């Protein structure tokens, strides 16, 4: 049986998943990827969980990349397989999670680590965090969605600058570029992430799930984001959450959403 590398803690609707490989700066090996994917999948059907926070153990790193020691002797076929498997199993699953996933970036987020944060819906960074896609310095390119998701957030020019120079940016630079949503002190990181989770939890879980779907549709090949929005918008009118949300407004009370 493999060692447990993901610590899960659930508190008032917020599930915090902590990657626990501090001795390797939480580098993503296959066990971390599989265990994280399983935890995200299980959270989807757990009605007690409304928002997921993702962070790294220790003060130094969120995730310092894919585990370099694991893929050092791969050939082209193995590299392609691993990239596809990882993207489908974990990175796309996070992005498509019906429950919002917030990355609390507590230190280095490099390579696959930054790609993991990019797959999350929101990113909050500690002031000392450093982010980068250093893959080309190792002779590879980002393989877990970084070439696609980074330009979506910061634009093609800045994304290419980060990818081609392989240099890290500071948390403040990342904030200026739109790569992270907020920068806070290391001491405040988890409370800021929890606060954002609480703000999300006031809203309809069903509408949140649908809003995520509609936003993603705009980035998906073969889908028209505006058409997807129209369908999702229309479908909202059939939900219990819509009836409760509008009724609560009329009755001047707080809504009690069921997520249906």
How far apart, in whole angstroms, are the C-alpha atoms of residue 140 and residue 142?
Answer: 7
Nearer to ligand DAK, 110 or 200 (CB): 110
Quick one: 135 or 241, whose CB is closer to ligand DAK? 135
Place of tokens 């980068």: 132
The least CB distance from residue 171 to ligand DAK, in Å, is 15
55, with CB counted inside 10 A (0-12, 13-18, 19+), is: buried
Q: Which is nearer to ligand DAK, 137 or 258 (CB)?
A: 137
Can you tell me which residue has the tokens 């998906």? Answer: 220
| CB of residue 83 to ligand DAK, shortest distance in Å | 3
Contact residues: ligand DAK, CB under 6 A: 24-25, 27, 64-69, 71, 74, 79, 82-83, 86, 108, 110-112, 134-135, 138, 140, 143-144
- Please state, in angstroms and as integers, the Cα–Cα distance from residue 67 to each residue in 1, 41, 70, following that order: 20, 23, 5
**Minimum distance from CB of 23 to ligand DAK (Å)?**
6
Q: Which is nearer to ligand DAK, 86 or 205 (CB)?
A: 86
Q: How many CB atoms lie within 10 A of CB 185?
A: 10
Catalytic residues: 115, 135
Q: Considering the complex, what minimum distance in angstroms separates the CB of residue 129 from ligand DAK? A: 11
- The residue at minimum Cβ distance from ligand DAK is 111
255 φ, ψ to 5°?
A: -70, 150
In whole angstroms, how close is the CB of 120 to ligand DAK at the nearest point?
Answer: 16
Quick one: 46 exposed, middle or buried, by C-beta within 10 A (0-12, 13-18, 19+)? exposed
Nearer to ligand DAK by Cβ, of 121 and 130: the residue is: 130
Give the DSSP per-residue string, 232-255. HHHHHTTSHHHHHHHHHHHTTS--
């Amino acid at each position: 049986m493999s060692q447990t590398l993901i610590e899960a803690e659930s508190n008032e609707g917020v599930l915090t998943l902590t990657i626990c490989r501090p001795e390797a700066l939480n580098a993503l090996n296959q066990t971390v990827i599989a265990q994280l994917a399983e935890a995200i999948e299980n959270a989807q059907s757990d009605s007690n969980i409304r928002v997921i926070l993702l962070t790294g153990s220790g003060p130094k790193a969120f995730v310092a990349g894919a585990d370099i020691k694991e893929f050092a002797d791969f050939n082209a076929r193995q590299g392609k397989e691993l990239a596809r498997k990882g993207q489908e199993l974990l990175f796309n699953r996070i992005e498509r999670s019906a429950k919002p996933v917030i990355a609390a970036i507590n230190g280095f987020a490099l390579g696959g680590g930054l790609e993991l944060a990019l797959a999350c819906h929101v990113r909050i960074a500690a002031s000392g965090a450093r982010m980068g896609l250093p893959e080309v310095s190792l002779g590879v390119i980002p393989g877990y969605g970084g070439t696609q998701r980074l330009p979506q957030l910061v634009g093609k020019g800045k994304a290419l600058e980060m990818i081609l120079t392989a240099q890290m940016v500071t948390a403040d630079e990342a904030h200026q570029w739109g790569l992270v949503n907020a920068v806070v002190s290391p001491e405040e990181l988890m409370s800021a992430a929890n606060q954002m989770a609480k703000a999300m939890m006031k809203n309809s879980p069903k509408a949140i799930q649908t809003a995520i779907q509609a936003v993603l549709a705009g980035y998906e090949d073969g889908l028209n984001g505006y058409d997807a929005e129209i369908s999702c918008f229309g479908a909202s009118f059939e939900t219990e959450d819509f009836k409760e949300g509008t009724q609560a407004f009329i009755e001047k009370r707080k809504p009690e959403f069921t997520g249906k």
